[in-house]
Amino acid sequence: MSTSLWLVPLGYLVGSIPFGLLTARAWKGVDVRSVGSGNIGATNVLRAAGRWAAAITLALDMLKGWAPVALSEAVGAPVALVAFVALAAFLGHLYPLFLGFRGGKGVATFLGLMLALSPKVAFLIVAIWLFIAALFRYSSLAALIASAASPPLVWLLDGRPPYVVLAVVLFGFILIRHRENLQRLRAGDEGKIGQKLQQAGVDLPRHDRLAS
C-alpha cells in the first residue's frame, strides 16, 4: 500500500484543476467567480457562459473525479487507498490549491469518482438527479437528493465498507457546501435550471471571490 500512497496527493492535485473557471474564461472571457453564485461549477458556468461551456465544465469536472480513481484501480491499489484517492480528488475540487482553497460544491466530481467506483451506482445517481431536476427545476435540490441516495445504493450494490463510508463522507461535504442553497430553497429564492442571472436575482459581482 505504501508504494501507492503517491496516488493521494496526485488525486488532490488533479481535483484542484479549476475547469469551470478556465472554461468560462476561454469561452466568454468571464471570471465565473465574479458573477452569479461565484461558484466554479457547471451550474454557475451555465448561467455565466452558456450551455456549451457548462457541458464542457461538467465533463471535465467528472473526469477529474474519475481519472485518479480509475488509475488507482488500474495499478491494483487496495480498496481503502482507492477510497482515500477518491476523497482527495473530491476535496481538491472543494478546496483547490490553485484558487486559495476556494472551490466548487463537488457534485460533478462526486459523480465522476462514483462512475469509476461503481458504474451501477453512478447510473442510478444520474437517474435520480435527472428526475428531481426535471420535476422541480432546482439543480441544488437534485444534487442533494441524489447524493443522499448514494450511501444506501453503494451499500446495496457494492457493499465494500470503505466505499460505503466514503459515500457517507462525500454526502456530508455536499450537504455542507449546499447550506446556502438550502436557505434559499426554504426562502423560495433559489435560481432554477436555465434561469438567467437577472431573473435569478444573482447578477451582482462577487468581489470576495476574486480575492482568491
CB atoms within 10 A of CB 30: 20
Q: What are the domain boundaries of the chain?
A: 2-194
Q: Which of 145, 125, 148 is nearest to 62 (CA)?
A: 125
What pLDDT score was predicted for residue 196? 52
Q: How many residues does the chain have?
A: 212
> What are the 10-residue block averages of pLDDT along the chain, 212 residues in total?
84 97 94 87 88 95 98 96 98 95 95 97 97 93 96 97 98 96 91 59 38 30
What pLDDT score was predicted for residue 1? 54
pTM: 0.89
What pLDDT score was predicted for residue 195? 62
What pLDDT score was predicted for residue 194? 62
What pLDDT score was predicted for residue 4? 87
